[in-house]
Amino acid sequence: MNRILLITERENDFGNLLQKNCESVTVMTPDARSFDIDAYDALCVLGGNTEEGITLNAPLRVCVEKFRATGKPLFCEFVRSIASAYIDGVLHTTHHRMVFGGRDFSVEGLAVGDVLDGHENDCIKYAFAPKNVYPILTYHDYVCAHSHIEMSDEEYRKGSCAMWKQENLLVSSFRLCNFRRARLAPRKSFEALVAAIVRFLAGENVAVDFEPPVCNYEKKTVGGAADVKEAVQRGVDWFHNAQMLNDNGRSGVQECFSHQISAKDGVQKRGSQVRADCTAEVAGAFMFQGLLSGDGEKVRMGEEMLDFIFDYFQVKEGEHKGMVRWTEVAWETCYQDDVARVLLAPLLRQHFDGTVPHFDDICAALDFLVDTTAPEGVRVMRTDLSTINARREKIMSPGRGLPSAHYNAYYHAVLLLAYRVGGDKRYLEVAERGLGHLMSLYPETRREQSETQENCRLLLPLAILYGITGKKEHYEWLCRVMEYLDAHRDPCGAVPEWDTGYKAACARNHTGECALLANNGDPVVDLLYSNNWLPLGYAYAYMATGEKRFYDAWCAIASFLLSCQIHSEDKLLDGAWTRAFDIENWESHGVPHDVGWAPCCIETGWTVGEILVGFQFMEQVEKIK
């Protein structure tokens, strides 16, 4: 086995792996000035966990170049200058992806055209890099593929060179050394690449044994709501451990961990703004756990989160009375779907103990929305205080509302729940008209993310509608949606993304919000826009119909969600769910081009809070059935 010299400023995943799997590794910091060239058979220089990469001091550089001249293996990662190449700029690659070419460096487990995601990374652009080598990996700014793409040689070479080999010199232009803690994906692809580099340095016969990943998953099967209690507790604990609750929730809940994970050190960026919808959804998770367990402190915490929203985010007086603001930044913006998820938890509470906190405030919010709803019962995408008066007539004109479940279905759901509590027939009429309009177009509603999303969003309001009216037509609407979900459900219990004709506004987009899906049939599940709504929808449908198929579907999605809930020694992650899940590789992975909510994003409300509410609502349904 080769004797290896490792030059690195601080410990990292690659260096640890090298030392674990190779018998003779000597570690030296880059402030050294020389080393015994004859004492080593291979040299590894790692700079990816430094701020700007490693610049070898002149004496050490002379020694390294002499080593290179011996023909022994030399691997340099994120080094600012080596051989004739030196840094001439850096490509920041949050939304870029790498494609494997591999002509001059074979990697067992990687095929030409495989796609790799380096997360929030940097790629050194080298001046005077060798022109006669074929890149092992190239970066491209938009790759519409889940894990593999067919790309011409000309297209491949147009990408920025991410890894290359010239004789005995192997260079990674991007940050690779903390591949594990940065959760580079797909994991098996990066492990295959790293193993090949280890063998390049240590010898072809070296067995490479990897540490467990940062995020682990335990496949489970759910037979009822009792089986999810531990997952609920872990999910609730996550809010505390991840420090998402401002003043224990009394000042709201932070939005998320964003998708950006630094390849330098594995730190995931935090989206710390407070959103009304996220805070209220988390309130529901805490409130329902407290009601089910008799924990008054949890109930109080949930109620205080709701108090914060209704006290500070809702307009209390004037012509815009009732409007609920979107965020502390978007102060004059109102999205009705997000408002609906502010109102959902307090309205659902009636099924637990017969009370509805802030019911008058809820009705004020709904009155504001109803007053700016088009005749078909649907609203425009959003309204803003600065333009709403000038646009009011247009907003309420026939055909102006957006026939999208993404923007309207939960608005209809809370209208129906409020009617159920207070009996205001306007709410029932608008909801019935709006859902009727959507179902008259179904399945060709206006999609935002995918066809899957539209069906997942429609399940809850249609279940509530049928539970209230008992009409045959409304039951048939519910069954149509259920048939779609049944037909597309994977054996693991999830409903992967699908978009017939790729008609969704965010399909294959790369300039703003972007769907996770590249091609129908990709094994990607969305827990921000689609499957996160299913536990509550199935539970309510079971309550409204009493039909076992809805209960079985709830058990199926619950089994999947328990199986993709994160287990990690990192308390910032343990107990949470990410937006994307690849059900083939069983990890977080999908098209990463969304402007802010890409695969590794963890949303407090939309994802974690919503799933926990759906889990606990079924527990209550089982109690009252």
Give the 3-state DSSP-derived string for 521-542, with helices as H, strands as E and coil as C: CCCEEECCCCHHHHHHHHHHHH
Per-residue pLDDT reduced to its tens digit, 548-597: 999 999 999 999 999 999 999 999 999 999 999 999 999 999 999 998 89
> Residue 390: its pLDDT value, please?
85
Asked if pLDDT for residue 204 goes beyond 90, the answer is: no
Whether the pLDDT of residue 615 is over 80: the answer is: yes
CB atoms within 10 A of CB 345: 25
Cα atoms found within 13 Å of the Cα of residue 371, Cβ hemisphere only: 14
The Cα–Cα gap between 13 and 423 comes to 61
Q: Taking residues 387-410, report their average pLDDT.
A: 92
Q: 394 CB contacts (<8 Å, ≥6 apart)?
A: 400
- pLDDT band, very low/low/confident/very high, at 222 (cuts 50, 70, 90): very high
**Per-residue pLDDT for 317 more than 80?**
yes
Report the candidate in 283, 282, 259 with the shortest Cα–Cα distance to residue 269.
259
Where are the domains positioned within the chain?
Answer: 4-202, 225-348+447-624
Note the pLDDT of residue 247. 98
Rounded to whole angstroms, what are the CA distances from 357 to 284, 293, 524, 529? 11, 19, 38, 27
Query: Regarding beta strands 97-100 and 137-140, do their DSSP bridges make them parallel or antiparallel, or are they unpaired?
Result: antiparallel
> How far apart are the C-alpha atoms of 518 and 522, rounded to whole Å?
7
Q: Is the pLDDT of residue 412 over 90?
A: yes
Distance CA 554, CA 538 (A): 5
Find, among 74, 91, 29, 78, the residue nearest to 52 by Cα: 78
- pLDDT at position 286, please? 98
Read off the tokens for 117: 């995601």
Instruction: Give 422: exposed, middle or buried? Use CB within 10 Å, 0-12, 13-18, 19+.
Output: middle
As a whole number, mean pLDDT of residues 65-75 equals 98
pLDDT of residue 394: 84
pLDDT tens, position by position, 339-394: 999 999 999 999 999 999 999 999 999 999 999 999 999 999 999 999 998 888 88
C-beta separation of 432 from 469 below 8 A? yes
Return the pLDDT at 248: 98
Per-residue pLDDT tens digits for 25-42: 999 999 999 999 999 999
Joined tokens for residue 212: 């467990």
- Judge contact between 613 and 536, C-beta under 8 A: yes
pLDDT tens digits for range 457-508? 999 999 999 999 999 999 999 999 999 999 999 999 999 999 999 999 999 9
The tens digit of pLDDT for each residue in 102-155 reads 888 999 999 999 999 999 999 999 999 888 899 999 999 989 999 999 999 999
Q: How confident is the model at residue 396, as a pLDDT?
A: 85
Q: Which residues are CB-neighbours of 423 under 8 A, at least 6 positions away?
A: none
Beta bridge mates, 72 = none
Residue 203 near residue 21, CB atoms below 8 Å: no
Q: Between 512 and 215, name the one with better pLDDT.
A: 215
Tokens of 182: 């940065």
8 A C-beta contact, residue 340 and residue 411: yes
**Residue 9 to residues 60, 378, 605, Cα–Cα distance (Å):** 14, 59, 40
Q: Residues 4-202: name the CATH superfamily.
A: Class I glutamine amidotransferase (GATase) domain (3.40.50.880)
Quick one: tokens of 153? 């040689």
- What global pTM score does this model have? 0.97
Q: Residue 620: its pLDDT value, please? A: 98
- CA separation for the pair 512, 523 (Å, rounded): 23
Whether the predicted pLDDT of 172 surpasses 80: yes
- Cα–Cα distance measured from residue 134 to residue 153, given in angstroms and rounded to the nearest whole number: 10
Q: Would you list the DSSP string of 39-61?
A: G-SEEEEE-TTSSS-B---HHHH
Does residue 301 carry a pLDDT above 80?
A: yes
pLDDT at 480: 98
CA atoms within 13 A on the CB side of 384: 5
Residue 233: what pLDDT? 98
Q: CA-CA distance, 266 to 184, in Å (whole number)?
A: 9
Q: What is the mean pLDDT of residues 56-70?
A: 98
Q: Quick: pLDDT tens for 501-560.
A: 999 999 998 888 999 999 999 999 999 999 999 999 999 999 999 999 999 999 999 999
